Amino acid sequence: MAIHKIKIFTGRSSRYLAEKIVEKYGTELGNSEVLEFSDGEFQPSFNETIRGCTVFIVQSTFPPSDNLMELLMMIDAARRASAHQVIAVMPYFGWARQDRKDRPRVPITAKLVANMLTAAGADRIITIDIHADQIQGFFDVQMDTLYASWVFVSYIKSLGLDNLSIAAPDMGAAKRAALYAKKLQTPIIISHKERAKANVVGSMTAIGDVEGRNIIIVDDMIDTGGTICMAADMLMARGAKSVRAAITHPLLSGNAYERINASALSEVIVTDTIPLNPAKDLSKFTVITVADMLADVIERVHNYKEISSLYSR
């Protein structure tokens, strides 16, 4: 049993999720605020003592980059306020697609973010479905990667779909799709795409039995929606009975909402690591919360219990 008191705080972008986490945990959200200056600078502060406490800070780092900066500043403030331990709960770990040098003279930004989190004073990182598993090696502190399959699989089973198949939207998602297929005991379909340029898919084909199948495309994130929508349209054209998508992080930039609503997708299942835009047509979207999972993991981490049996792949 932990001897240090726990306190849970949140950055501004993830308050909606943090409120659900503390409700499930059975506590209250810590009192913090952000002072904004006219030139765009801001200064977060804790409005209660955290000396000797284990402090969890909930903040996804989706755009804009202010969300990452705010998290770094809150970690620094907690460390300077004599917190016993500072744990960053990052449901969505931004910049994770930049995990390597894929062409000359570019940064490895995921490593840079890892360095900044460590330099700010984070003792541990908790995240969900990080884009590239090797990013865990960028940290010299503990990093716990949870998997949204634990909330998605039960929902998929509840749909009661016959002739179910799991599909990967590209070769990079094949490993993730294979894990879902194993849990659901279904066949797997691999979509092969060729990009014309970044965020633009040139052509696509499918490997696997498509005709008459109810297909669910799985991936860790959806940005512009181009790949997912093209895959859905292609699978329906090849005789699929229905096509859904189960995507952990709904970035949904540009005209992604409109593209999804115009596509062959019958349903897009996402988590609340990133909030949906309420001004858009959300009729195709189903949101599954990760608050219960995160509250459980926070309790286990705080009380030095193992988490791998619950949230490993």
pLDDT on residue 36: 96
Pairing of strands 142-146, 124-128: parallel
pLDDT on residue 207: 85
Which has more confidence, 277 or 308? 277
- Are 298 and 56 spatial neighbours (Cβ–Cβ below 8 Å)? yes
Establish whether the linkage from the previous residue to 104 is cis, with ω within 30° of 0.
Answer: no
pLDDT on residue 126: 97
Flag whether pLDDT at 266 surpasses 70: yes
Mean pLDDT of 146-151: 94
Residue 56 phi/psi, 5-degree rounding, is -105, 130
User: Across the chain, what does the average pLDDT equal?
Assistant: 94
Pairing of strands 188-197, 200-207: antiparallel
pLDDT on residue 194: 67
Mean pLDDT of 126-130: 96
Per-residue confidence at 278, pLDDT binned at 50, 70, 90? very high
Flag whether pLDDT at 91 surpasses 80: yes
Mean pLDDT of 263-280: 98
Residue 73 phi/psi, 5-degree rounding, is -70, -35
pLDDT on residue 309: 75
Which residue is associated with the tokens 């092969």? 192
- Angstrom CA distances, 269 to 152, 176, 223, stand at 8, 16, 14
Which has more confidence, 205 or 234? 234
Q: What is the pLDDT of residues 61-87, one digit of tens each?
A: 999 999 999 999 999 999 999 999 999
Residue 267 phi/psi, 5-degree rounding, is -160, 140
Q: At what angle do helices 66-80 and 109-120 cross, to 10 degrees?
A: 30
- Measured between alpha carbons, how far is 259 from 122 in angstroms, rounded to an integer? 38
Task: Map residue 189 onto helix, strand or coil.
Answer: strand
Across the beta sheet with 285-288, the strand order is: 200-207, 188-197, 164-168, 214-222, 242-250, 267-271, 285-288
Q: What percentage of the chain has pLDDT greater than the value 70?
A: 95
Task: Map residue 17 onto helix, strand or coil.
Answer: helix
Q: What is the pLDDT of residues 178-226, one digit of tens each?
A: 999 999 999 999 987 665 555 555 667 888 899 999 999 999 999 999 8
pLDDT on residue 165: 97
What amino acid positions are annotated as catalytic residues?
193
pLDDT on residue 253: 96
Per-residue confidence at 125, pLDDT binned at 50, 70, 90? very high
Q: What is the pLDDT of residues 290-312, one digit of tens each?
A: 999 999 999 999 999 998 876 66
pLDDT on residue 302: 95
Per-residue confidence at 264, pLDDT binned at 50, 70, 90? very high
